Amino acid sequence: MTALDQVLGSISFSARLTGMLNVYVLAPGESSAPFGSTVAPQINAHYHQHLFSFRIDPCVDGLRNTVIESDVVPLVAPTGSAENYAGNGFVVEEHVISTAKEGGRSYDFAKDRRWTIVNREKLHYASGKPVGYGLIVGGASKELLAKEDSWIANRAWFSTKSLWVVRDEEDKPRMWPAGKYVPQTRSNPKDSVAFWCKGEESLEDQDLVLFLTMGINHIPHPEQWPVYVHSYMRALRVFYN
């Protein structure tokens, strides 16, 4: 936690990625390949993603929590109208994530999407709104670029969405979004988000756990050969309401 986090009452994290690039040798006369970057003569480094799942087990003034998705959007009323005379109006549109089948959410940069974990039984003294803890992820949010029926997605379905909202149980917590034994699986196990986020199970005013998918798309360049120095990833979760 940084000094700024302490002032804001927030929690942030940062990650630095390093290591050896995964490469292969180009054939003589082959100048490039479509799925990688040439980082040295006849050496091609694969395009790839670094994706991480962060488990968030909230308790916002108790265990009866709800997640609200918020989008910041311009007002549809035209400039000159009574509702938007100067043409500069924008509003926040909110959507309650109500059921398990709605639990998988995608980040929308254009709408500056954010999520808030709230306790609707407790109201903030100033705003009059439910007390909450906001997740603001920004550019660190990434999703899997491989197809939904790809080998990767068949083992790591968590990576296909930016956020998963899951109903939890204190005596049997849901811990691993891709299952406990990923190296020993060929498909998503039943004890994973691929199955938790199905059906009509209520997510309102419940004991919840969230899995936040973050990472980077790594397009190598010659300066990263042979050792990938590092890429920097940072996100911020801010307390508000």
| 61 domain-assigned | yes
Q: Render pLDDT for 68-87 as a digit per residue (tens, 0 to 9).
A: 999 999 999 999 999 999 99
Task: Confirm whether 195 is domain-assigned.
Answer: yes
pLDDT at 220 over 60: yes
Q: Are 26 and 238 in contact (CB under 8 A)?
A: no
Q: What is the pLDDT of residues 83-129, one digit of tens each?
A: 999 999 999 999 999 999 999 999 999 999 999 999 999 999 998 99
Q: Evaluate if residue 7 carries a pLDDT over 50.
A: no
Going by the DSSP 8-state scheme, the letter that residue 161 receives in this structure is S
- Round to the nearest angstrom and report the end-to-end CA distance of the chain: 21
Q: How many domains does the chain have?
A: 1
- Break the chain down into helix, strand, coil percent, rounded to 5: 10, 40, 45
CATH assignment at residue 7: 2.70.98.20
Give the model confidence (pLDDT) of 183-194 as tens digits.
Answer: 888 899 999 999
Residue 34 lies in a domain: no
Each residue of 133-144: b (16+ CB within 10 Å) or e?
bbbbbeebbbbb
Range of the domain at 117: 3-14+50-77+86-216+232-240
Give the residue-averaged pLDDT of 49-55: 93
Q: Across residues 37-61, what is the average pLDDT?
A: 93
d(CA 164, CA 213): 8
Q: Is residue 29 part of a domain?
A: no
Q: What is the spatial distance between Cα 29 and Cα 31, in angstroms, rounded to a whole number? A: 6
pTM given for the model: 0.90
**Mean pLDDT, rounded, for 15-36:** 87
Domain contains 26:
no
Query: How far from 19 is each of 25, 68, 113, 216, 218, CA to CA, in Å?
Result: 19, 38, 32, 14, 12
In a domain, 223, yes or no: no
The DSSP letter of residue 113 is: -
Judge whether 39 lies within some domain. no
Whether residue 23 lies inside any domain: the answer is no
